[in-house]
Structure 1
Amino acid sequence: MHYYVEITCLPDEGVSVAFIMGKVMDVLHLALVNLQQQVGRNPVGIGFPAYVYREDDTGEVEAAQMGGKIRLFSRDQAHLEALNLKQQLERLADYVHIRGISEIDRPNLAFASFQRVQPKSSKERLIRRKAKHTGQTEAVVREQFASFEEQRTHLPFVHMHSHSSTQAFRLFIEKQVAEPVEDWQFSSYGLNGRVPVPDF
């Protein structure tokens, strides 16, 4: 059995849905980290029912958007209750609508996985990171990256903020149609490319 909560981001004058989505996802990430610490894993997955990514026959992107809805899924209603979403999202109350926990009772339910994609897009950041982790000088590491080509993606994304470094970043997300699996655990963002959630 699956249970879910749906959060709808409500645009307001001067406040875009994308901005609200980022704020909501920041809060959800912290809530999922706390849940993960309590139960030893994250048993709540996230889906984006209004997600759209489409390319034409030549590979050009026709549409790419996250949409304004987030669904949190769990096989145990208690895990969704433990997130205490109304309280967690209280400061965003004017910008979100949270539906109560619902049980999914649909025949022929479709599933899709949502996974984070991290393009290697910043050569300088990668050089700094490798230098820090290996103890090599940046000059030595820069030589190793001489032939590096930065990657780009046009996947839909959510603007997020790192809670450890306060740096802003884009959480790129890829959706894949998939068959359900028995394993049921997710990253602290509620994502897992191998574990699909209901898609409706």
Structure 2
Amino acid sequence: MDHYIDLKLLPDPEFAATQLMSALLAKLHRGLHDLRRDDIGISFPGIERSGHSLGSHLRLHGSAQALASLLALNWLTGMRDHVQPSELRAVPSPVQYRHVSRVQIDSNPERTRRRLIKRHGITEEEARQRIPDHAAKRCDLPFANLRSHSNGQTFRLFVRHGPLLDTPQPGSFGSYGLSTTATIPWF
């Protein structure tokens, strides 16, 4: 994690920054999945100022070789008019570190009821009594709207930026560039 690339969304009159960030994350996911890399992480440097939005700034973290291999895939095709990428840069020092992870929220009571009916053989009315509509969990974390390639369903990818740490933590990153174990440099 000694290098980074900044990707800043350009203002667009036709698309909101939230839509563009969701599209950018979907393309990044495909690129990381195709590369089969677990050593590239992401962060959203403007997250504290953005509220429920991930903002308009995505930072990719990794070694110079890992980031160069991602860029060689040309995964930004279709987004080039909407993104201003920086050059590959060395991480400044000193820095702090933080975990940037995915948080999964079960916010769909209907889906939970269907699962309950299937697993426990109860009636729909019993399931509705056990899990009322107002039982949906709320999450105040920023998110991106994405579409699953496996089932075509849309879902929210909630992202949590953990507390600042003084030392890096080793680990691997998933195909969204997020990790509960590994940290990214924060600057």
Q: What TM-score bracket applies, with the shorter chain setting the length?
A: 0.7 to 0.9
TM-score normalised to structure 1 length? 0.80
TM-score normalised to structure 2 length? 0.85
Query: What secondary structure, in the 3-state scheme, does the structure 2 residue paired with 1:22 have?
Result: helix
Aligned-residue CA RMSD (Å):
2.6
Question: Do the aligned partners of 1:112 and 1:199 also contact (CA within 8 Å) in 2?
Answer: yes
Question: Do the aligned partners of 2:4 and 2:59 also contact (CA within 8 Å) in 1?
Answer: yes
Which structure has the highest strand share of the two? 1
The residue that corresponds to 1:16 in the other structure is 16
The residue that corresponds to 2:6 in the other structure is 6
Question: 1:197: Cα distance to partner?
Answer: 0.8
Question: Do the aligned partners of 1:9 and 1:95 also contact (CA within 8 Å) in 2?
Answer: yes
Counterpart CA distance in 1 for 2:177 and 2:8 is 17
Counterpart CA distance in 2 for 1:64 and 1:103 is 30
Counterpart CA distance in 2 for 1:80 and 1:142 is 52
1:28-87 Cα offsets, whole Å, 9 max, x none, are 011111222xx5xx1111110010279xxxxxxxx433110111111x211111112672
1:106-128 Cα offsets, whole Å, 9 max, x none, are 22x02121111122211221233
Counterpart CA distance in 1 for 2:34 and 2:129 is 37
**Identical pairs, percent:** 28
Question: Do the aligned partners of 2:168 and 2:185 also contact (CA within 8 Å) in 1?
Answer: no
Question: Do the aligned partners of 1:52 and 1:66 also contact (CA within 8 Å) in 2?
Answer: no
| Alignment partner of 1:73 is 2:61 | yes
1:135-181 Cα offsets, whole Å, 9 max, x none, are x5463896498157321012111111111122211111111123233
Query: What secondary structure, in the 3-state scheme, does the structure 2 residue paired with 1:8 have?
Result: strand
Note the residue ranges of structure 2 that are not aligned, 5 or more in a row. Answer: none
Counterpart CA distance in 2 for 1:53 and 1:14 is 23
Counterpart CA distance in 2 for 1:27 and 1:142 is 42
Query: What secondary structure, in the 3-state scheme, does the structure 2 residue paired with 1:72 have?
Result: strand
Among 123, 135, 142, which residue is 1:139 paired with? Answer: 123
The residue that corresponds to 1:197 in the other structure is 184
Query: What secondary structure, in the 3-state scheme, does the structure 2 residue paired with 1:27 have?
Result: helix
